[in-house]
Each structure stands twice: as C-alpha cells, then as structure tokens.
C-alpha cells in the first residue's frame, strides 16, 4: 500500500510509541521494586505490566512490528526445536556452566551451524545468556524447558497455531461476525479438517503434550480448594459420610491434577473422588499410581452424567472451550444428575472484568476464539449462561484475583410440587395458557423484534409474556436481560423460546422459570 494513501505520516512509525510516558513509568517501576519482596504475586504482576508498558513506550512502531513478525516467530521456532531435540534437557543436566555449541551439537546430532544460529537469536532475545562466541549459559527459563509440564505447551499449541494465523481469512469469509459454531472454527478452516482441536491433536500425537500443558498452566497459581473456596465449610460439612457415596466428581478433569491436589490437602474427605474424561485421555495418564484411590471413569460430558447425586461436580477450564449452545447441553446433563438442596456445581474459570483485563486472561480468550469459537466469560456472560440458559442458581462467585480463575458455586433450583414439566415447545405452548388462566394472568404472545427485546418486553398489562423469536433474531441477550429484570421486579413471569438451533431450550427450562417466580 502506498504511504501517500495512509491516514498518518510515515514518521510516526520510526519514533518511540510514547516517549512522554517514560519518566512516569520509570518512577512507578522504582516504587514497585520497593514493595516486590513483600507484595507477593500481585506486586510482581503489576511490575511486569509496568515494565512491558515501559518497553512498548520506548519502542518505535517499526521495532514493535519487527518483534512481532520476525523476532517472536524465530524464538518460537528455536525453542520448539530445542524441545524436540532434547537440547534444553541436556543443558540442564550439564549444570550451571557455559556450554559450547560444538559439544552440544555433537551429542545431539545437530548441525553446529544450525544450533549456533538458533542460540544466537535466543540470546539476542534474552532467553539464554551468551558467555563467549558459540558458548551459552542456561537460564532459569531454558532449564524450565526440561520440565515436560512446561515444554509440552510449545508443540501442543504450535500444532494448532494456524487457527490464529489465518483467523483474519476465516473471519472475512464469514462476514466479520463473532463466531459461535463449534463445528466451524478457524482451526478447522486453517487445517481443512472437521475434527475439533482435541481430536486433531490426538491424531497428530500431541494429545499428551496438551495434557502436560494444562498441568504447566496450573503451576504457581493459588489452589482453588485452599486459597479461594472454603471447602471445609461448603463441601465437607453436611456431606454424606458413606465411604461409597460420590463426593467430588472432576468432570473433564484431564489426567487428575486437581483431584490429586485435593486429596493431598483433604486426605480425610468423605466419600469418593471420581475423575471423568474421555477414554483416550484417561488412558494417557502418565503415572496412574499417583491417583491412588481416585476412581477413573471414562465419560464424554456432552452425554448424560453417569454419577448421580454427588456432593459436588467440579469443572476446571472446560466450559470456556465451548460456545453457549454446547455448554447448555453439558450443564443440562449435570443439572439432571444433581440432587436439589445437596449437590453443588463448582466451575473454576476466569470471570473477566468489564475493563483492565489481565493479559493472561485476555490471551486465553484469543486462544478460545481461534481454536474453539468459544470465549472467556465476563460476569454478565456467566449469569446469562448459568441462570438464563441452563436454569441453575449462582450462589456466589468466589473471586480468585486478577488473572486467576474464580470459583463459581451453583445449585439446582428445587421444583414446585405439582407443576408438570412440558416435554417440548409445543406442549409448553399448550400448557402455559392454561397455567396463566389458573393464576388469573393475562397472556400475551408476540414476535420479538430487536426493539421488543431491548425496549418493550414486559411493558403493558400482561403478567405472562411468551416471546417467540424469529430465526433472523441473532442476539437474544437484550431479551434475556429484560426478562430477568421482570422476574426480579416481582409478579411477572417471562417465558421465551428460540426458533433457531444455535440457542436450543431444554424442555425442563419452562418448568424452571415457573419455579423462579
């Protein structure tokens, strides 16, 4: 593109991004250093943010562009080759001493000219320390790459990275819409496959690497069961003491990281701990003996939940992999298995703030977007999914802190005795007028246009509003919000159904709405 067509002068690209901000950032960094020793993780994270802001302020846009397009891609290539060849494991075993390219290349069978180029770039990027010509000292970062839970993320995520690289082409072909179809993702588009990310990685042989990556992601983060959620008070107290009773079911629990940690912290917990995941994942548990008495149960969480009436069903970083329509199916199966007044659903995931999101959370949202057509959810998103769609009750969101997953505690609402549950939409429409008449309510049917959804739902004299939405109505959030407001204001009952497969209603939902009025 010719520079004369650009809206700004080219000189903006070769001058610092924000030189005026540098003195203030330096002062803030100096102040942050003073509290680093006593401020914990939060102080360190704040200092990282300030340091990155300082670097970006000093960089010229041209330098930032080169960093993105050349430097970071080259670093990823170099790191991944080092993982594949065993370079980082060898250097870690050799110890904290300068190591020559000639010696490393001879032992690993790598062309020394190639290894020299890769390590030179990683040194220039600050990932390894250059001590002499073709001689390097391992850093804590490169030594950590000898740990499978750290190194596994590189081949796992690079194996599907084209989903992000080609996202602009995918989005352009779909009219720049926010995608929600789990069967038509950017990753599928990029690799010309109909398999989801998990199946595709398994086919490539990177499924175990992804499981390790999830273990690495959890390292150094506050454990939900000791730092965020009061397990003794909310779970153990009041639980069934029968040793055969299901106590905690980890749904989609991968290779058991969370349950092992839970058992270590609460060895005298009542009942059984049960690990559920796909058969292929259960069979990839690297050291099954560490699970001890934890029961392994192959299960696809899009199918009916086999364990009924557990004290708690726990999901860690599962629902963010799926758009709302699939989550609604998953949650419906869990809801059907839960015992009202006893069972809890604990969802351990990010709750994004309205502004000033932490970079780890926003980065994960981009992963969800480009691989799954799903998302990290905001506070409003969670209430919409869990209460409005799934018909559960959020008891409390236990905040994990900035950049840390919260624990969303949910319960199933008790049903009103004598209220029948319509089996399908047609039965519901036949059932509701009679129910309204019994209660002396006025009944209004309407087609929900965008204006009705956002402005007019619940206005007027009707006590019961059934809104049928036409297929072109693609954004029901306003309608749901309006209906929720009506329910909270008292005396008004809103029933709404969707005429499109993207937002299916479970048959029991109509009954659940009655129970909430």
pLDDT tens digits for range 104-161: 999 999 999 999 999 999 999 999 999 999 999 999 999 999 999 999 999 999 999 9
Catalytic option among 263, 320, 509, 511: 320
- Across 116-125, 150-159, 386-395, 439-448, least confident range: 439-448
What is the three-class DSSP state of 249?
A: strand
- Sheet of 443-448: strand order equals 443-448, 464-469, 493-498
Q: Give the number of other CB atoms < 10 A from CB of residue 170.
A: 20
Residue pointed to by tokens 């004299």:
461
Q: Which residues of the chain are in CATH 3.40.50.150 domains? A: 221-412
pLDDT at 475: 35
Give me the helix-helix angle, 22-34 and 36-58, nearest 10°: 160
Q: How buried is 335 (Cβ within 10 angstroms: 0-12 exposed, 13-18 middle, 19+ buried)?
A: buried
Question: Across residues 410-438, what is the average pLDDT?
Answer: 52
The number of angstroms, rounded, from the C-alpha of 1 to the middle of its chain's C-alpha atoms is 38
CA 149-229-47 angle, to 5 degrees, is 60
Fold designation for 63-146: Arc Repressor Mutant, subunit A (1.10.10)
* pLDDT above 70: residue 277: yes
What is the three-class DSSP state of 268?
A: coil
Q: Which residue has the higher pLDDT, 421 or 235?
A: 235
pLDDT at 400: 87
Cα–Cα distance between 129 and 412 in angstroms, integer?
A: 56
User: What digits encode the pLDDT tens for the residues 46-88?
Assistant: 999 999 999 999 999 999 999 999 999 999 999 999 999 999 9
Give me the helix-helix angle, 207-218 and 197-204, nearest 10°: 120
Find, among 197, 493, 200, 147, the residue nearest to 371 by Cα: 197
Question: Catalytic: 320?
Answer: yes
- Across 5-14, 161-170, 347-356, 444-453, least confident range: 444-453
* pLDDT above 70: residue 163: yes
User: What digits encode the pLDDT tens for the residues 92-117?
Assistant: 999 999 999 999 999 999 999 999 99
User: What digits encode the pLDDT tens for the residues 183-232?
Assistant: 999 999 999 999 999 999 999 999 999 989 988 998 888 899 999 999 99
Find, among 179, 151, 173, the residue nearest to 83 by Cα: 151
- Across 2-6, 101-105, 421-425, 498-502, least confident range: 498-502
* pLDDT above 80: residue 308: yes
Ramachandran angles phi, psi of 314, nearest 5°: -120, 135
Give domain 221-412's CATH number out of 3.40.50.150, 3.40.50.360, 3.50.50.60, 3.90.470.20.
3.40.50.150
Cα–Cα distance between 25 and 18 in angstroms, integer?
A: 11
In the beta sheet, which residues pair with residue 329?
none
User: What digits encode the pLDDT tens for the residues 354-373?
Assistant: 899 999 999 999 999 999 99
* pLDDT above 80: residue 453: no
pLDDT at 429: 44
Q: Are 44 and 91 in contact (CB under 8 A)?
A: no
Q: Give the CA distances from residue 137 to residues 133, 152, 445, in Å, rounded to whole numbers and listed in that order.
A: 12, 22, 73
pLDDT at 505: 35
Give the number of residues written for the chain. 517
Confidence band for 3, pLDDT divided at 50, 70 and 90:
low
Confidence band for 33, pLDDT divided at 50, 70 and 90:
very high
Cα–Cα distance between 161 and 203 in angstroms, integer?
A: 16
Cα–Cα distance between 409 and 396 in angstroms, integer?
A: 5
Question: Across residues 398-405, what is the average pLDDT?
Answer: 88
Residues 6+ apart with CB under 8 A from 101: 112, 115, 116, 119, 134, 135, 136
Q: Residue 190 corresponds to which tokens in the numbers above?
A: 């990029």
pLDDT at 2: 52
Cα–Cα distance between 201 and 486 in angstroms, integer?
A: 46
Percent of the chain at pLDDT > 90 equals 70
Cα–Cα distance between 314 and 392 in angstroms, integer?
A: 15
Q: Which residues of the chain are in CATH 1.10.10.10 domains? A: 63-146
pLDDT at 41: 81
CA 406-410-416 angle, to 5 degrees, is 165
Confidence band for 415, pLDDT divided at 50, 70 and 90:
low
What is the three-class DSSP state of 393?
A: strand
């Amino acid at each position: 593109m010719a520079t004369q067509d650009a809206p700004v002068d080219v000189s903006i690209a070769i001058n610092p991004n924000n030189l005026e901000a540098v003195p203030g950032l330096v002062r803030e960094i100096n102040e942050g250093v003073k509290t680093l020793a006593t401020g914990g993780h939060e102080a360190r994270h704040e200092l990282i943010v300030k340091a990155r802001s300082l670097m970006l302020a000093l960089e010229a846009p041209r330098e930032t562009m080169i960093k993105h397009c050349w430097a970071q891609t080259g670093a990823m290539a170099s790191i991944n080759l080092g993982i594949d060849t065993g370079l980082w494991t060898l250097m870690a075993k050799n110890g904290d001493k300068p190591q020559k390219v000639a010696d490393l290349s001879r032992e690993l069978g790598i062309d020394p000219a190639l290894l020299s180029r890769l390590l030179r770039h990683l040194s220039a990027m600050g990932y390894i320390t250059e001590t002499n010509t073709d001689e390097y000292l391992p850093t804590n970062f490169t030594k950590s790459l000898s740990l499978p839970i750290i190194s596994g993320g590189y081949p796992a995520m690079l194996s599907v990275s084209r989903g992000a690289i080609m996202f602009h082409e995918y989005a352009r072909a779909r009219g720049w819409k926010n995608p929600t179809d789990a069967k038509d993702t950017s990753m599928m588009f990029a690799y010309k496959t109909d398999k989801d990310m998990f199946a595709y990685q398994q086919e490539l042989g990177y499924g175990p690497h992804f499981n390790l990556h999830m273990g690495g992601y959890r390292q150094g983060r506050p454990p939900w069961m000791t730092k965020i959620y009061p397990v003794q008070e909310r779970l153990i107290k009041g639980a069934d003491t029968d040793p055969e009773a299901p106590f905690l079911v980890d749904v989609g629990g991968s290779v058991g990281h969370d349950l092992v940690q839970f058992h270590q912290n609460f060895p005298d917990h009542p009942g059984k701990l049960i690990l559920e995941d796909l058969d292929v994942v259960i069979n990839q548990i690297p050291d099954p003996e560490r699970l001890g008495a934890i029961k392994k149960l192959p299960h696809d969480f899009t199918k009916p939940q086999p364990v009924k009436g557990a004290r708690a069903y726990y999901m860690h970083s599962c629902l963010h992999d799926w758009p709302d329509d699939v989550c609604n199916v998953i949650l419906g199966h869990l809801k059907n298995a839960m015992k009202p007044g006893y069972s809890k659903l604990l969802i351990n995931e990010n709750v994004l703030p309205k502004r000033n999101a932490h970079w780890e959370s926003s980065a994960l949202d981009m992963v969800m977007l480009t691989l799954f057509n799903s998302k990290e959810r905001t506070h409003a998103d969670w209430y919409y999914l869990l209460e409005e769609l799934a018909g559960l009750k959020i008891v409390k969101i236990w905040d994990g802190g900035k950049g840390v997953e919260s624990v969303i505690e949910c319960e199933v609402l008790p049903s009103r005795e004598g209220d029948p549950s319509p089996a399908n939409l047609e039965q519901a429409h036949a059932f509701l007028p009679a129910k309204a008449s019994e209660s002396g309510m006025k009944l209004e049917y309407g087609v929900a246009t965008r204006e009705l959804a956002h402005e007019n739902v619940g206005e007027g004299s009707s006590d019961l509003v059934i809104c049928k939405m036409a297929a072109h109505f693609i954004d029901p959030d306003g309608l749901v919000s309006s209906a929720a407001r009506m329910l909270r204001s008292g005396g008004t009952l809103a029933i709404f159904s969707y005429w499109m497969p993207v937002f299916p209603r479970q048959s029991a939902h109509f009954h659940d709405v009655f129970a909430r009025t």
